[in-house]
Amino acid sequence: MRVSREEYQQILESELHKTCSEKTVDHALKPRNMGSIEVASGYAYITGPCGDTMEIWLSVDNQIIEQATFITDGCITTIAAGSMITEMAKGKPVEEAMQIGQQDILKALDGLPEESEHCALLAANTLKEAILDYYEYSRDKWKRNYKKQW
Ligand code: FES
């Protein structure tokens, strides 16, 4: 039996509702800030313990994160975590965004199933690395030209 795209979407949504909060389902199915930033001020690519990866790009102006985007090859809850953390980081001073941790993401998503809580850790670690990358190059921007490109 063939399942249409709409039917598949409905099945996925009702399956997700069995284990995930409304907010998680919303961010998982309608992820915000997906994609890359061509000329980023900060970037990180992290592989989590499960083997899934996340990339985060930051656009920073005057110490404020103006834009944050992500891409992941992880599961649906990783997509929700990437969507939420980029929303949380936008508009914040880099120093404040550096404090966003796994628990903050879990709280903002109204929790994740226990077996998926590490997805929020992957998102938090990737953001921290992207901010560290920003700090590394913020003083000597020209050095980025000599960094291996992503
Ligand atoms: Fe690996 Fe979500 S299952 S990050």
Q: What does each of the 150 residues of the chain score in pLDDT, given as a tens digit?
A: 788 999 998 999 999 999 999 999 999 999 999 999 998 999 999 999 899 999 999 999 999 999 999 999 999 999 999 999 999 999 999 999 999 999 999 999 999 999 999 999 999 999 999 999 999 988 777 677 666 655
pLDDT computed for residue 67 by the predictor: 98
Contacts with 16 (C-beta within 8 Å, 6 or more apart), sequence order = 24, 25, 28, 29, 76
SS (H, E, C) the chain: CCCCHHHHHHHHHHHHHHHCCHHHHHHHHCCCCECCCCCCCEEEEEECCCCCEEEEEEEEECCEEEEEEEEECCCHHHHHHHHHHHHHHCCCEHHHHCCCCHHHHHHHCCCCCHHHHHHHHHHHHHHHHHHHHHHHHHCCHHHHHHCCCC
Please, how many CA atoms are within 13 Å of residue 102, restricted to the half-sphere of its CB? 12
Q: Which residue shows structure tokens 């592989």?
A: 47
Distance 2 CA to ligand 1 centre (A): 29
Residue extents of the structural domains in the chain: 5-144
Tell me if 94 sits within 8 A of 131, measured CB to CB. Answer: yes
CA of 18 to the centre of ligand 1 (A): 18
What CATH number does the domain located at 5-144 have? 3.90.1010.10
20 is a catalytic site residue: no
- With a 6 Å cutoff on the Cβ, whether 31 touches ligand 1 is no
The reported pLDDT for the residue numbered 54 is 98
Q: Which of 11, 50, 99, 150 is catalytic?
A: 50
pTM over 0.85? The answer is yes
